[in-house]
Amino acid sequence: MRQSNLLATTLREAPAEAETVNHQLLLRAGYIRQLAAGIYTYLPLGRRVLRKIEAIVREEMDAAGAQEMLMPSMQPAELWKASERYEVYGKELMKLNDRHDREFVLGPTHEEVITSLMRGEVSSYRKLPVTVYQIGTKFRDERRPRSGLMRGREFLMKDAYSFDTGWEGLDDTYSRMYKAYQRIFERCGLVYRAVQADAGAIGGEGETHEFMAISGIGEDTIAVCSACDYAANLEQAEVHTGAEAVQRNVSNLPAAEKFHTPGIRTVEQLEQELRIAPEQVIKTLIYQGGGQVFAVLVRGDHEVNEVKVRNYIGASEIALADSGTVRAAASVESGFVGPVGLSLTLLADRAVAAMTSGITGAGERDFHLRDVVPGRDFTLEHVADFRTAEEGGTCPVCGEGVLHFEQGIEIGHIFKLGTKYSEKLGATVLDAAGQSNPVIMGCYGIGISRLMAAVAEQNSDGQGLIWPAALAPYRVHILQMSVQDEVQTAAAEALYEQLSKLGVETLLDDRDERAGVKFKDSALMGIPVAIVVGKAAAGGKVEYLDRRSDSKEVIDITEAVSRVTSGQNG
Ligand code: ATP
Ligand code: MG
């Protein structure tokens, strides 16, 4: 490709709204342009990177036995109502009506479409297992589109769906997909980690893993064990039980006693004004969700993990109750709410259940209670792990290592769905005995466009992008220093032709620009190798620049060609 023809305008400055490195550089280097919030055009350079990612994904999916297909974005709303996700997906679902006023959605994912398709296509166990995949556009009306391609409202995803007759079959398929994902992310040059995850709105009964690109801008926190291979999304990282398996003797404890705490509403105030250690406090938080109002109790130094609570309650969403709801349910404002005498379902974190006694709100304005004994002064019917794991805490699996936290960008997610969709949408097969059973499903997503952003985020320096060779839009960038110089033109053209014939994707900077501009743009674009054709071309020499190591060397043109074709760089 001749750069004089390439639709790729580089920008000196990134627009102010671009805060992350990948967003700034992909805009500045001419890879993407924004059309509306969370909606982007991929310019030719960006499209080439996407195609590289897609090719890797296709190769690995095909090798894992998955078959490519393509499903429609426009999906009848009835399908989403049948799976009961029309409401659950909420405002993220893009809705539209056709001319007959029939309701449609723009697919944020394709479980409904594929499951209803399979209902018609496959009726016997003999046709299973089957795994299909597609690469296509997804629509999600995200509350906060962010960081360019990272969280788009229209984005590219690879989604795969597997159908097995039994759970053992699904286990096999799942582990094949897991391995394919490892190869994909390795080939894309990502620093990543597979972590145990929460099933969220897609939901399911089984195991689920997220693949996280490690990055400070990641929205997810990952808890990683220093000793074993345990790694989990903080949303679901379990808390080690050891410390809380204490035997309590509550028989001779004093009765709970009210004390005056005017204006003291928070654990911090109890600590600062009354010198009460947070671990002696029992926090009572009123939540609503799943059609009920309930209380969650955690120790003053702990945080409620809403994902764990949500899963325990079986609600798709929960939220802290508003002040009106709190007052109606507890007859007092939050800050003085306590579990004693509270007629709500109480969910107690294990650490609360292990306390001998604690300090709580008294359920009366400006008063707290001390010597409150869990199990004596309030019921302990619902005790479980309801809190967020802490950095430095003991590993819940090996019990020896210590958890440390990393930030991650979720680039892939695999789920064992089981029969969640096949039951609701009636996708059954007859087994060998002629019995009808719902098929056992799995689903497997990769954010193709997000992956491009994650690679850009992990691979850059002060000058610009640094693509891994496997994803670079071009392998070689020829920079002709002076387009007026005939010797240089001849040498650059010959080199360009030779590399192109050898199948090396090459971009020739043949623009009538100053050398400085060419160097800057080349570094910004991040093509792995630049070959500078300048004055030395008269003597058959060029400058060979390796973008990643930022090294320069003057070598013979022939040597440059053989280096490129032997793939020594990038
Ligand atoms: P997130 O927690 O980031 O919202 P999700 O759990 O909603 O992700 P999935 O439904 O599992 O995501 O989608 C599969 C993959 O699609 C994700 O792993 C991610 O890589 C990608 N993805 C999801 N939402 C977006 C988005 N808004 N923009 C770009 N990629 C996305
Ligand atoms: Mg999401």
User: How far is ligand 2, taken at its centre, from the CA of residue 92, in Å?
Assistant: 8
- For strands 551-556 and 345-349, give the pairing: unpaired
Please name which ligand lies nearest the alpha carbon of 200: 1
Q: Which residues contact 344 (CB under 8 A, 6 or more apart)?
A: 286, 293, 294, 295, 329, 330
Contact 540, 523 (CB under 8 A): no
Q: What is the mean pLDDT of residues 519-548?
A: 98
The pLDDT of residue 567 is 72
Please name which ligand lies nearest the alpha carbon of 447: 1
Residue 226 CA to residue 43 CA, distance in Å, equals 43
Query: Does the CB atom of residue 428 touch ligand 1 within 6 A?
Result: no
Q: What percent of the chain has pLDDT over 90?
A: 92
The residue nearest atom 29 of ligand 1, judged by CA position, is 151
415-472 pLDDT, tens digit per residue, is 999 999 999 999 999 999 999 999 999 999 999 999 999 999 999 999 999 999 999 9
Which mutation among 450, 455, 457 tests ligand 1's pocket best, with the greatest number of atoms within 8 A of CB? 450
User: How far is ligand 2, taken at its centre, from the CA of residue 151, in Å?
Assistant: 8
User: Given pLDDT bands bounded at 50, 70 and 90, which one contains residue 88?
Assistant: confident
Tokens of 90: 């909420």
Q: What is the mean pLDDT of residues 383-408?
A: 95
* 429-466 as b/e: b if 16+ CB within 10 A: beeeeeeeebbbbbbbbbbbbbbbbbbbbbbbeeebbb
567 or 393, higher pLDDT = 393
**Domain locations in the chain?**
23-212+408-456, 242-384, 476-566
The residue nearest atom 16 of ligand 1, judged by CA position, is 447
Please name which ligand lies nearest the alpha carbon of 139: 1
Contact 3, 479 (CB under 8 A): no
> In terms of Cα–Cα distance, which of 237, 563, 209, 239 is closest to 383?
239
Residue 383 CA to residue 375 CA, distance in Å, equals 11
Query: Does the CB atom of residue 157 touch ligand 1 within 6 A?
Result: yes
**Ligand 1 atom index nearest CA of 153:** 27
User: Given pLDDT bands bounded at 50, 70 and 90, which one contains residue 105?
Assistant: very high
In this model, does residue 245 exceed pLDDT 80?
Answer: no
Helix/strand/coil (H, E, C) string of 444-456?
EEEEHHHHHHHHH
The residue nearest atom 2 of ligand 1, judged by CA position, is 410
Query: Does the CB atom of residue 445 touch ligand 1 within 6 A?
Result: yes
3-state helix, strand, coil in the chain (%, to 5): 30, 30, 40
Query: Does the CB atom of residue 396 touch ligand 1 within 6 A?
Result: no
Please name which ligand lies nearest the alpha carbon of 410: 1
User: Given pLDDT bands bounded at 50, 70 and 90, which one contains residue 241?
Assistant: confident
In this model, does residue 555 exceed pLDDT 60?
Answer: yes
- Please provide the CATH number assigned to the domain covering 23-212+408-456: 3.30.930.10
Q: What is the mean pLDDT of residues 58-78?
A: 98
Query: Does the CB atom of residue 464 touch ligand 1 within 6 A?
Result: no
Which mutation among 410, 414, 457 tests ligand 1's pocket best, with the greatest number of atoms within 8 A of CB? 410
The pLDDT of residue 316 is 80
Query: Does the CB atom of residue 151 touch ligand 1 within 6 A?
Result: yes
Residue 287 CA to residue 296 CA, distance in Å, equals 7
User: How far is ligand 1, taken at its centre, from the CA of residue 375, in Å?
Assistant: 42
Whole-number mean pLDDT of the chain?
95
Query: Does the CB atom of residue 38 touch ligand 1 within 6 A?
Result: no
Please name which ligand lies nearest the alpha carbon of 453: 1
- Please provide the CATH number assigned to the domain covering 476-566: 3.40.50.800
Which mutation among 157, 215, 417 tests ligand 1's pocket best, with the greatest number of atoms within 8 A of CB? 157
Residue 55 CA to residue 78 CA, distance in Å, equals 34
Please name which ligand lies nearest the alpha carbon of 157: 1
Please name which ligand lies nearest the alpha carbon of 220: 1
- Strands in 529-533's sheet, in edge-to-edge order, are 506-509, 476-480, 529-533, 541-546, 551-556
User: How far is ligand 2, taken at its centre, from the CA of residue 276, in Å?
Assistant: 40
In this model, does residue 317 exceed pLDDT 90?
Answer: no
Residue 444 CA to residue 424 CA, distance in Å, equals 20
Query: Does the CB atom of residue 107 touch ligand 1 within 6 A?
Result: no
182-224 pLDDT, tens digit per residue, is 999 999 999 999 999 877 644 556 789 999 999 999 999 999 9
In this model, does residue 518 exceed pLDDT 90?
Answer: yes
User: How far is ligand 2, taken at its centre, from the CA of residue 253, in Å?
Assistant: 49
Contact 265, 271 (CB under 8 A): no
**Ligand 1 atom index nearest CA of 412:** 18
Query: Does the CB atom of residue 449 touch ligand 1 within 6 A?
Result: yes
Query: Does the CB atom of residue 447 touch ligand 1 within 6 A?
Result: yes
Query: Does the CB atom of residue 357 touch ligand 1 within 6 A?
Result: no
> The domain 242-384 belongs to what CATH superfamily?
YbaK/aminoacyl-tRNA synthetase-associated domain (3.90.960.10)
The residue nearest atom 27 of ligand 1, judged by CA position, is 151
The residue nearest atom 13 of ligand 1, judged by CA position, is 445
Query: Does the CB atom of residue 136 touch ligand 1 within 6 A?
Result: no
Please name which ligand lies nearest the alpha carbon of 414: 1
**Ligand 1 atom index nearest CA of 109:** 10
**Ligand 1 atom index nearest CA of 413:** 18
- The predicted model scores a pTM of 0.91
Query: Does the CB atom of residue 413 touch ligand 1 within 6 A?
Result: yes
In this model, does residue 247 exceed pLDDT 70?
Answer: no
Query: Does the CB atom of residue 140 touch ligand 1 within 6 A?
Result: yes
